[in-house]
């Protein structure tokens, strides 16, 4: 069984401004299940925005950053790899991310192994432009 990624909250942090349509969103996701390196956790930014804001029909993801890691313990942190990828060529922009463990002091650890059980939240800052509707 692979992981299931469920969008829990979507908050507009900033935007749009009078100069452009750039908006920053805080999106928290809950990841549960068994981690598989071949099928990394992911979520659709457009679907997340549509569940929170009626009328949004399109968006372009510019940047993705991690705001909060899954679990911090004395032995390290289970974190999102420092560069989650936004697949911008798709009609539904998707954020796909790798989960690492053993990270300490902001350093990246190594990818967790297949079969690792996950059940926790990750929080992302997603910057979008060209948000249509809403």
Please give the pLDDT value at position 114: 93
Q: Please identify every stretch of the chain with a pLDDT value under 70, giving residue numbers as ranges.
A: 1, 71-79, 81-92, 102-108
User: How, if at all, do strands 94-96 and 99-103 pair?
Assistant: unpaired
pLDDT tens-digit profile of 2-28?
899 999 999 999 988 777 788 999 999
- d(CA 35, CA 58) in angstroms, rounded, equals 30
Q: Where are the alpha helices (DSSP H) in 1-134?
A: 45-52
CB 81 within 8 A of CB 109: no
| Chain-centroid distance, C-alpha 14 | 17
Global pTM? 0.85
């Amino acid at each position: 069984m692979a992981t299931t990624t469920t969008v829990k909250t979507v908050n507009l942090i900033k935007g749009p401004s009078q100069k452009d349509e750039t908006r920053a969103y805080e999106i928290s996701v809950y990841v549960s299940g068994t981690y598989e390196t071949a099928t990394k956790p992911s979520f659709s930014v457009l679907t997340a925005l549509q569940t929170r804001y009626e009328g949004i029909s399109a968006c372009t993801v510019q940047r993705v950053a991690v705001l909060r890691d899954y679990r911090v313990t004395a032995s390290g942190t289970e974190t999102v790899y420092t560069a989650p990828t936004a697949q911008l060529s798709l009609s539904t922009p998707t954020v796909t991310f790798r989960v690492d463990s053993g990270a300490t002091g902001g350093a990246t650890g190594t990818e967790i192994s297949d079969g690792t059980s996950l059940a926790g939240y990750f929080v992302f800052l997603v910057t979008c432009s060209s948000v249509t509707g809403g």
